[in-house]
Amino acid sequence: MYRLVLDTNVIISALLWRGTPNQLLTTAASGLDVLYTCQEILSELRTVLQRAKFTSRLRSYGSTPDQLTSYFALLANQVQLTLPIPSITGDPADDMVLACGVAASADFIVTGDTGLLNISCYRGIPVASPRMALKKIEQHP
């Protein structure tokens, strides 16, 4: 069983589309892996889902940003971030994801963000794309 922290972009892909991010969400929902998040990621998720580019997709699912955020919050264990969050990447949103990974003692931080992927490992926690994380999980269940 792996402890995963998903970046907001991966969460949105998992919730709104099929594919590798959705497979990660499905394995966690079935109890094979454990998701972790924090209030800061949930707030960002709600805000990003309110963007116009997601309106039609949300409508097709009959969901609102609040409903999807609440659904994800039910799937994930919440951790408290230690404040202040150190500046590692120069992007506070990316730093928040790294801090969540540390607070959760995650096995993987999963992201599609190239800035985070370039870090590759933070405090011993691999930073991986959804495809790479799923591959490693499938190789070593």
Instruction: Give me the residue spans of the domains in the chain.
Output: 2-139
pLDDT digits (tens, 9 = 90+) for 3-15: 999 999 999 999 9
Among 7, 39, 46, smallest CA distance to 25 is for 7
Series of mean pLDDT values for 10-residue runs along the chain (141 residues): 96 96 92 94 98 96 96 96 86 95 97 94 97 91 66
8 A C-beta contact, residue 40 and residue 21: no
To the nearest 10 degrees (0 to 180), the angle between helices 65-75 and 8-16 is 110
The CATH homologous superfamily to which domain 2-139 belongs is 5'-nuclease (3.40.50.1010)
